[in-house]
C-alpha cells in the first residue's frame, strides 16, 4: 500500500476507533479517567475480537456519522456541494437519531429539511440567539476535508473549505477556528514521519493559527465562546494562546497531569475546550507514558485522549484522526478495527479521497 493511502486510511479509521472506544466513557463526563480503566476497556475489546462469530461491535456516534457524510459528499460530488452535504447530515440524523447528537444541532437539521436544503447556512446562524453554536461538532467531523485539500498544500484553500463545511451547522467563530486547527493538525500529520518533532509541529501550528486568528473577517465578530466559571483561573482567549500552553507543556521534563490538562486546555463539548486537548494528546505520544510501555504511539494517543475525561468520544476521534494520519493504518490494531463499527466504510471513503488526490 502506498504511504499516502495508508495515511489517508489511518486518518479516517483512527477517527472511527477514537469515537467508538471514547464513547464507552463519554456519558461519565468525568474530570479525568484513570488510564488503567481505559486500558481495561481496550483489553475487553481485544478479547471480544478473538471470538469468532457475532462478537460485540462498538457503535460509532454522531462524530463518525457526520464525518461519513462529509467524506461521501466530497467523493460523490468530487468537491464541495453545500446543499448535498446539508441533506446528508440531516437525513442521517433522521434515519438514526440516537447516535448521541449535540442537544441543539438537531434543530438545525430540522430547519434545513423544512427549507428543502435551499438556505444551507441560514439555520446555523440563528442558533443561540444569533451567535451560533460554539460546540465541537464542526471540528469532530472535519478530517475528510483535510484529506480532500491535502494535494493543494494551500492553508488558505483548506481554511475556506473547512469554514464552509462547519458553517452548515456551526457559525460561531470559535467552532470554525477549532475545525480549522483540527484540519491543519491532520494535514501536518499527513506530511510528517512517525519520528516528527512535537516542538516543531506546535510552532508550525502557532504560525498558521496566528494568521487565521488575526484576519479581520465576518465571523471574527461572533467569537464569544465559553468562559471558565472560576474567575481566578487564567483565561485563555485564542487558539494561539492554547497552543503556546501546549508548547510549554512539551518543554517540561515531566508532562502535566491529566487533571491539569483537563482544567487548563479543556476536554469539553465546545471546540475551544476540546480541539487543543486532541492536538496535545497526539503531540505527547512521542513522550513517555508510564502506564503504557507496550503500546504503540497511535494506541498511546487514544488512551491518553480518553483519560482526559469530559467529551471523550470527541477528543479521542480528533486525536485519533491526527495520530492515524501520522502513523498510518497499520498502526491501528486489527483487533480494534474488527470491533469498531464503520471501519471498512472509513477505509473505502479514504480510498475515494485518495483517488481524488491523485487526479490532476
Ligand atoms: O457541537 P455539536 O454538534 O455537539 C457535538 C458534541 C460532541 O461531543 C458529540 O459527541 C455529541 O455528544 O455532541 O452540537 P451543538 O448542539 O451545536 O452544541 C453542543 C452543546 O454545546 C449544546 O447543546 C450546548 O450545550 C453547548 N453550546 C452552547 N451553550 C451556550 N451557548 C454550544 N454553543 C453554545 C452557546 O453559544
Ligand atoms: Mg459523539
Ligand atoms: Mg462527544
Q: How many Å apart are CA 221 and CA 300, to the nearest integer?
A: 38
Along the 360 residues of the chain, how does pLDDT read in single tens digits? 888 999 999 999 999 999 999 999 988 888 999 999 999 999 999 998 887 677 789 999 999 999 999 999 999 999 999 999 999 999 999 999 999 999 999 999 999 999 999 999 999 999 999 999 999 999 999 999 999 999 999 999 999 999 999 999 999 999 999 999 999 999 999 999 999 999 999 999 999 999 999 987 655 444 556 655 544 455 899 999 999 999 999 999 999 999 999 999 999 999 999 999 999 999 999 888 887 888 999 999 999 999 999 999 999 999 999 999 999 999 999 999 999 999 999 999 999 999 999 996
- 340 forms beta bridges with 58
Give residues with Cβ within 8 angstroms of 259, minimum separation 6: 31, 32
Q: How many Å apart are CA 188 and CA 197, to the nearest integer?
A: 11
Check if 269 has its Cβ closer than 6 Å to any atom of ligand 1.
Answer: yes
pLDDT digits (tens, 9 = 90+) for 34-49: 999 999 999 999 998 8
Contact status, residue 171 vs residue 132, Cβ threshold 8 Å:
yes
- 6 CA to middle of ligand 1, Å? 32
Q: How many Å apart are CA 293 and CA 296, to the nearest integer?
A: 8
Q: How many Å apart are CA 17 and CA 224, to the nearest integer?
A: 32
Residue linked to cell 471574527: 220
Check if 268 has its Cβ closer than 6 Å to any atom of ligand 1.
Answer: no
Question: Whose CA is closest to atom 34 on ligand 1?
Answer: 133
Neighbours of ion ligand 2 (CB under 5 A): 61-63, 100, 313
Q: How many Å apart are CA 156 and CA 162, to the nearest integer?
A: 10
Q: Check residue 220 and give its pLDDT.
A: 46
Q: Check residue 217 and give its pLDDT.
A: 64
Q: Check residue 225 and give its pLDDT.
A: 61
- Predicted-complex ipTM score: 0.99
- 220 CA to middle of ligand 2, Å? 27
- 66 CA to middle of ligand 2, Å? 10
User: Helix (H, G, I), strand (E, B), or coil: what is residue 214?
Assistant: helix
Contacts by residues 72-80 (CB-CB < 8 Å, ≥ 24 positions apart):
72/349, 74/144, 74/145, 74/148, 74/353, 74/356, 75/349, 75/352, 75/353, 75/356, 78/356, 80/161, 80/164, 80/165
What is each CA distance from 225 to 15, 59, 134, 273, 357, in whole angstroms?
25, 31, 6, 9, 35
- 270 forms beta bridges with 135
Residues for the chain: how many in total? 360
Q: Residue 294 class from Cβ within 10 Å (0-12 exposed, 13-18 middle, 19+ buried)?
A: exposed
- 96 CA to middle of ligand 1, Å? 18
The preferred substitution site among 135, 138, 170, 309 for testing ligand 1, maximizing ligand atoms within 8 Å of CB, is 135
Q: How many Å apart are CA 195 and CA 171, to the nearest integer?
A: 37
Contact status, residue 311 vs residue 274, Cβ threshold 8 Å:
yes
Can you say whether the dihedral through the CA atoms of 168, 174, 180, 186 is positive or negative? negative
Q: Check residue 224 and give its pLDDT.
A: 56
Q: How many CB atoms lie within 10 A of CB 270?
A: 20
Cα 91 to the center of its chain, rounded Å: 22
Which ligand places an atom closest to the C-alpha of 25? 3
Check if 105 has its Cβ closer than 6 Å to any atom of ligand 1.
Answer: yes
For 149, the enclosing helix (H) or strand (E) is helix 143-149
pLDDT digits (tens, 9 = 90+) for 191-239: 999 999 999 999 999 999 999 999 876 554 445 566 555 444 558 999 9
Check if 102 has its Cβ closer than 6 Å to any atom of ligand 1.
Answer: yes
Amino acid at each position: 500500500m502506498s504511504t499516502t493511502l495508508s495515511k489517508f486510511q489511518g486518518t479516517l479509521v483512527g477517527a472511527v476507533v477514537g469515537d467508538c472506544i471514547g464513547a464507552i466513557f463519554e456519558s461519565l463526563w468525568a474530570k479525568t479517567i484513570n488510564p488503567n480503566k481505559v486500558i481495561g476497556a481496550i483489553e475487553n475489546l481485544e478479547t471480544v475480537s478473538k471470538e469468532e462469530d457475532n462478537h460485540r461491535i462498538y457503535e460509532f456516534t454522531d462524530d463518525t456519522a457526520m464525518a461519513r457524510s462529509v467524506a461521501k459528499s466530497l467523493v460523490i460530488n468530487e468537491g464541495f456541494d453545500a446543499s448535498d452535504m446539508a441533506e446528508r447530515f440531516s437525513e442521517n440524523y433522521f434515519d438514526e437519531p440516537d447516535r448521541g447528537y449535540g442537544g441543539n444541532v438537531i434543530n438545525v437539521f430540522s430547519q434545513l429539511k423544512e427549507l428543502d436544503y435551499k438556505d444551507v447556512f441560514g439555520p446555523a446562524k440563528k442558533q443561540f440567539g444569533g451567535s451560533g453554536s460554539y460546540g465541537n461538532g464542526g471540528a469532530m467531523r472535519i478530517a475528510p476535508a483535510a484529506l480532500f485539500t491535502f494535494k493543494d498544500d494551500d492553508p488558505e484553500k483548506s481554511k475556506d473549505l473547512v469554514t464552509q463545511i462547519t458553517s452548515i451547522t456551526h457559525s460561531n467563530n470559535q467552532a470554525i477556528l477549532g475545525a480549522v486547527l483540527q484540519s491543519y493538525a491532520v494535514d501536518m500529520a499527513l506530511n510528517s514521519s512517525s519520528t516528527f518533532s512535537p516542538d516543531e509541529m506546535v510552532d508550525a501550528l502557532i504560525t498558521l493559527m496566528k494568521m487565521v486568528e488575526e484576519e479581520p473577517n465576518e465571523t471574527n465578530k461572533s467569537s464569544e465562546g465559553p468562559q471558565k466559571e472560576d474567575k481566578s483561573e487564567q483565561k485563555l482567549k485564542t487558539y494561539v494562546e492554547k497552543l503556546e500552553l501546549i508548547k510549554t507543556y512539551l518543554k517540561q521534563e515531566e508532562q502535566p497531569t491529566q487533571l491539569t490538562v483537563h482544567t487548563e486546555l479543556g476536554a469539553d463539548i465546545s471546540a475551544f475546550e476540546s480541539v487543543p486537548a486532541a492536538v496535545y494528546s497526539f503531540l505527547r505520544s512521542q513522550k513517555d507514558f508510564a502506564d503504557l510501555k507496550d503500546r504503540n504511539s497511535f494506541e498511546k494517543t487514544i488512551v491518553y485522549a480518553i483519560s482526559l475525561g469530559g467529551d471523550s468520544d470527541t477528543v479521542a476521534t480528533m486525536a485519533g484522526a491526527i495520530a492515524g494520519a501520522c502513523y498510518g493504518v497499520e498502526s491501528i490494531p486489527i483487533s480494534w478495527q474488527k470491533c469498531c463499527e464503520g471501519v471498512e466504510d472509513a477505509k473505502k471513503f479514504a480510498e475515494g479521497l485518495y483517488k481524488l488526490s491523485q487526479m490532476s
